């Protein structure tokens, strides 16, 4: 358990780097009912994220660590690493959408739906989060409670990039407007390189981890 928590925090922080989701969230924060809709966006994002995590744990056989050879988990890590590599050209060519504020605001159902879609199509977060669930499932010598704690930590770390701006806005709605505008503009300029760097780092990590288990 001692090595698992730092690993899932690292993976979760990598998965948290989601420029597109953050830009959509920031666009919601400049509309009417920003407090309510930002929380609904977070809720939609979280529901899909947790659903993916639960499926990942079931597919990778959480609680069954040790019942299959280490090489099996190694090949899974290699596959996830190769997926990260394959996503790099897609992330580089993808053009970020410009989110324009609308004076009329946004209906609650749309904010929740946007959060769900933002997570579901967020390929880099998707793959890295799934790799985190695999790390939990393959951990040996831990209890079901340990797996649950690790899963919560992984999920919170993945959500940190949304939780922080929402918390700042909820506490300082007026003062945070300039900060959110500056952050959104910076992400719009650098979103490609940020995503590519994160994918490259974790591609190397997962391939190294997988090859070391298979070798």
Average pLDDT by stretches of 10, the chain with 215 residues: 87 89 86 87 96 92 61 87 89 64 68 92 91 90 89 96 89 74 76 87 91 84
> What pLDDT score was predicted for residue 92?
79
Cα(180)–Cα(102) distance, rounded to whole angstroms? 16
The secondary structure of the chain in percent helix, strand, coil, rounded to multiples of 5, reads 80, 0, 20
Largest CA distance in the chain: 59
Q: Which residues contact 85 (CB under 8 A, 6 or more apart)?
A: 199, 203, 207
Entry pTM: 0.84
Question: Is the separation of the CB atoms in 125 and 48 below 8 Å?
Answer: no
Q: Which residues contact 107 (CB under 8 A, 6 or more apart)?
A: none
Q: Measured at the alpha carbon of residue 189, what is the angle toward residues 188 and 195, in degrees to the nearest 5?
A: 80
> What pLDDT score was predicted for residue 5?
93
> What pLDDT score was predicted for residue 101?
45
């Amino acid at each position: 358990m001692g090595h698992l928590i730092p690993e899932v925090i690292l993976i979760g922080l990598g998965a948290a780097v989601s420029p597109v989701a953050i830009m959509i969230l920031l666009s919601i924060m400049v509309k009417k009912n920003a407090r309510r809709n930002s929380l609904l966006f977070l809720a939609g994002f979280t529901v899909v994220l947790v659903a993916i995590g639960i499926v990942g744990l079931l597919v990778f056989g959480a609680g069954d660590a040790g019942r299959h050879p280490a090489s099996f988990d190694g090949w899974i890590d290699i596959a996830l690493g190769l997926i990260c590599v394959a996503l790099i050209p897609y992330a580089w060519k993808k053009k970020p959408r410009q989110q324009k504020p609308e004076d009329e605001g946004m209906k609650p159902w749309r904010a929740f739906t946007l959060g769900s879609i933002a997570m579901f199509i967020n390929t880099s977060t998707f793959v890295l989060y799934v790799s985190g669930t695999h790390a939990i499932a393959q951990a040996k010598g831990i209890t079901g409670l340990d797996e649950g704690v690790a899963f919560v930590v992984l999920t919170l770390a993945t959500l940190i990039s949304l939780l922080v701006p929402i918390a700042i806005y909820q506490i300082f709605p007026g003062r945070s407007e300039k900060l959110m505008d500056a952050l959104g503009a910076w992400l719009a300029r650098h979103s490609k390189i940020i995503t590519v760097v994160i994918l490259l780092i974790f591609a190397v990590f997962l391939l190294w981890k997988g090859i070391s288990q298979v070798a």
